[in-house]
Amino acid sequence: MEYIVFAIIAYLLGSIPSGLIVGKLGYKIDIREHGSGNLGATNTFRILGIKAGIIVTIADILKGTAATLVPLFFDVEVYRLAIGLFAVLGHTYPLFAKFKGGKAVATSGGILLGINPLLFAIIVTSFILTLYVSKYVSLSSMITGIVAVVISIILQDIGLIIVTVGLAAFVFYRHSENIKRIKNKTEPKIKWM
C-alpha cells in the first residue's frame, strides 16, 4: 500500500509542468506552441532564454529529488529509486498538461540527486563538459545517461545499475528524433555557451 501511495505522490510531483508555468506566468507564452513544442528545459531555454531555462531545469530536477525524499519524511521503508521513477513518468506524461511533457533528463537527474549526490555531481559535470564541446543538448543528455550507467557499475549497486540503465534507455527513446537530426546534421546547436 505504501508503494502505491508514494508512487501516486511521485507521479503528481512529476506532473507539475514547470515549463508551462514559467512560460505562462512569467512571459505570457505557452511554450508548447513554440519551438519543439516540448515542455522541458531545452525548449524553455530556446524560447524564453537562459533565466527561464535555468528556473525550469532546477524545478524539473527538484521534482525527481522530492519524489525520492518524501518517503523519508514519513519514515516509511520503500525502495526510493523505484518511487522516483514515477516522477519521471509524471514529467514525461504529465496529468496536468494533457500527458505531453519533457524528455525525462532533468527529472531523472533529480532522482539520482535524492539517492546519490556524488553520482549527480558527476553526471552534471559530464553534461556540462559534453555540452561545451558538442553544443548539442540532446547528445549531452544521452552521453550523460551512459556516464550514469558506467558510474553505477563502478559503484557495484545492482539497484542503481538497473534504474540507470532503464533511465538511459528511456532518454535515448525520447531522443529518437534528435538522433536522426544529429545524423542529418539538422539538430540545432546552442549559441549561449
pLDDT value, residue 36? 81
Residue 169, Cβ neighbours under 10 Å: how many? 12
pLDDT value, residue 25? 94
For the cut 90, the answer to whether the pLDDT of residue 192 exceeds it is no
Q: Which residue, among 127, 110, 130, 123, has the nearest Cα to 56 in the 3D structure?
A: 110
- SS3 state at 191: coil
Please give the average per-residue pLDDT across 129-147, as a whole number.
Answer: 95
| pTM: predicted TM-score of the whole model, two decimal places | 0.93
pLDDT value, residue 3? 92
DSSP letter for each residue of 93-131: S-GGGTT----SHHHHHHHHHHH-HHHHHHHHHHHHHHH
* pLDDT digits 0-9 by tens, 157-178: 999 999 999 999 999 999 999 9
Average pLDDT, the chain: 93
Is residue 193 domain-resident? no
Please give the average per-residue pLDDT across 21-35, as a whole number.
Answer: 91
State how many domains the chain has. 1
Range of the domain at 149: 2-183
Is residue 190 domain-resident? no
CB 110 within 8 A of CB 60: yes
CB 122 within 8 A of CB 153: no
pLDDT value, residue 1? 82
* pLDDT digits 0-9 by tens, 92-131: 999 999 999 999 999 999 999 999 999 999 999 999 999 9
Is residue 191 domain-resident? no
* pLDDT digits 0-9 by tens, 74-96: 988 899 999 999 999 999 999 99
- SS3 state at 176: helix
- pLDDT tier at 38, thresholds 50, 70, 90: confident
Is residue 37 domain-resident? yes
* pLDDT digits 0-9 by tens, 108-119: 999 999 999 999
Is residue 159 domain-resident? yes
Is residue 58 domain-resident? yes
Is residue 177 domain-resident? yes
pLDDT value, residue 4? 95
Distance CA 76, CA 131 (A): 39
Distance CA 144, CA 128 (A): 9
pLDDT value, residue 173? 94
CA-CA-CA-CA torsion for 94, 95, 98, 99, nearest 10 degrees? 40
pLDDT value, residue 111? 97
Is residue 192 domain-resident? no
Give the whole-number percent of the chain exceeding pLDDT 70. 100
